[in-house]
Chains A and B, each alone.
Chain A
Amino acid sequence: MTIGTDDGLATYNFAYLDEQTKRMIRRAILKGIAIPGYQVPFASREMPMPYGWGTGGVQVTASIIGPDDVLKVIDQGADDTTNAVSIRAFFAKVADVETTTETAKASIIQTRHRIPEEKLKDGQILVYQVPIPEPLRFLEPRETETRKMHALAEYGLMHVKLYEDIAKNGHIATTYAYPVKVEDRYVMDPSPTPKFDNPKMHMSDALQLFGAGREKRIYAVPPHTKVVSLDFEDYPFEIQTFEEPCAMCGAQGVYLDEVILDDRGGRMFVCSDTDYCEKRREDGHRGHLAGDAMEAAE
């Protein structure tokens, strides 16, 4: 797929969206920040890419971005997937902004599925692409009912679901989109990030904005805000752990992806955050397969 063909974007406004749409989205963002974890409805616009490509996140980014911003886009932790590259190219074209793959250099980071390993700083903004913003949707399909549950902070159903998980599996089996409670009030879907990343949302120095294009919702978590993963006293929330360090950079305590090396069952675990892994290798860190993997790549 190509986005940003000259034909399709012949007469776009700065950052693609028209000013009235930006104002509407900006107002929704401000209310989202004022009511952390609450899903603000907004009139999502068609974007020159399919919904699955993160049009909600793209609209949020388009509404906040200015000429001085530096944009990073990640997909599953990587800067170089087709989706990430396309969105980065889109904004480089329609907003003429500088882009980067380095977490520390970015003022805005748009993400699908991961939070960078490097601790985010005051002044940075993390924009999540959200497919399904409603954490109660799989338990209650009716919007009128889920809205009532949020209104009354009636979240028993969610606890029942997690407890059924425990009854069936002996532990909470949910590993992605693990529900959180924001400032002791709203239960929120952190988007399909691994639960490994949930603790990074808690008391973050960065502002976190969430955009769901198809479902027309925007929500937010201000910096220094409580974000607590739902759990039970006897089954406390736990993040995934990995038995071995990253095979490339030797990092521990980071989220690893399994990579198949050959057709004989060879495999390794490497950082899902490609920028983090590269930085560590530049700094001289080596995992146990770093040499081999480099040869294999050549």
Chain B
Amino acid sequence: MAVTGQVVEGGFGDPVFASQSVFRAVMDAMARPGTVQAIATDAMPPAPLNAAAAAVVLALADSDTPLWLDAELAKSEAVRGWLAFHTGAPLAGTPSDAVFALAANPAAVPPLTGFALGTQEYPDRSTTLIVQVESLTGGPVLTLTGPGIETTQAIAPRPLPGHFEVQWREINGLYPRGLDLILAAPDAVICLPRTARIGNEEL
């Protein structure tokens, strides 16, 4: 593939400090599920990749982490080229091989149980799924409980993958196996680690 300007441009201006600050935002988001953490980034990925999702992948993915792309991203040569150039991450053939999975179209996210869910011995060997959303507010309100949440945490991202609550409960039921979800609006993220429960039930 030809290395075009669109592939080379738009990475982190200062990768060391940008990676650190994006990671800290994701860490805070993962430690406090449902809180909105701003992702201030100078990353300018090719469409339809959004800046926050791209920054998370730039900060955390590399040649050791197979990356799965949904059809909308995979069909864009610019996106594939940009991610390959800036992360070196190999593309995962199937969701179950993915350390990171990136979806631009929430409606077309494959069944969550099809991603890598880890094993009972190594539950960490599981996918971190990044789903781009239009907004982290304005959607149907979901109430989260679980570690990292003092009482309850309301979230209202939109749109979400189909049958999300049912699918997420299924993930909860596999604990400690499971996957961890990052919802990425263009300028901020919300994380749902596998411990996050929807509804007010006890963990």
Q: Which residues of A contact B (CB under 8 A)?
A: 13-15, 19-20, 22-24, 26-36, 38, 40-41, 63-67, 147-148, 150-152, 183-186, 203, 207, 220-226
Contact = CB atoms under 8 A, between A and B. Distances in A.
A26 B119 CA distance: 21
B51 to A, nearest CB: 19
A30 B16 CA distance: 18
B54 to A, nearest CB: 15
Interface residues of B, number: 40
Nearest to B22: A26
A147 B124 CA distance: 13
Interface of B: 15-17, 19-21, 23-24, 26-27, 30-32, 59-62, 64-65, 99, 119-124, 126, 128, 147-150, 175-176, 178, 180, 193-195, 203
Contacts of A29: 27
A225 B30 contact: no
B148 to A, nearest CB: 4
Contacts of B147: 36, 183, 221-222, 224-226
B19 A19 contact: yes
Q: Which 5 A-B pairs have the closest CB atoms?
A: A34-B193, A222-B148, A31-B124, A151-B120, A225-B147
A138 to B, nearest CB: 21
Contact of A223 (B15, B23, B24, B31): B31
B121 A38 contact: no
Contacts of B31: 33, 207, 220, 222-223
B180 to A, nearest CB: 5
Contact of A30 (B121, B128, B176): B128
Contacts of B193: 33-35, 222
Nearest to A205: B150
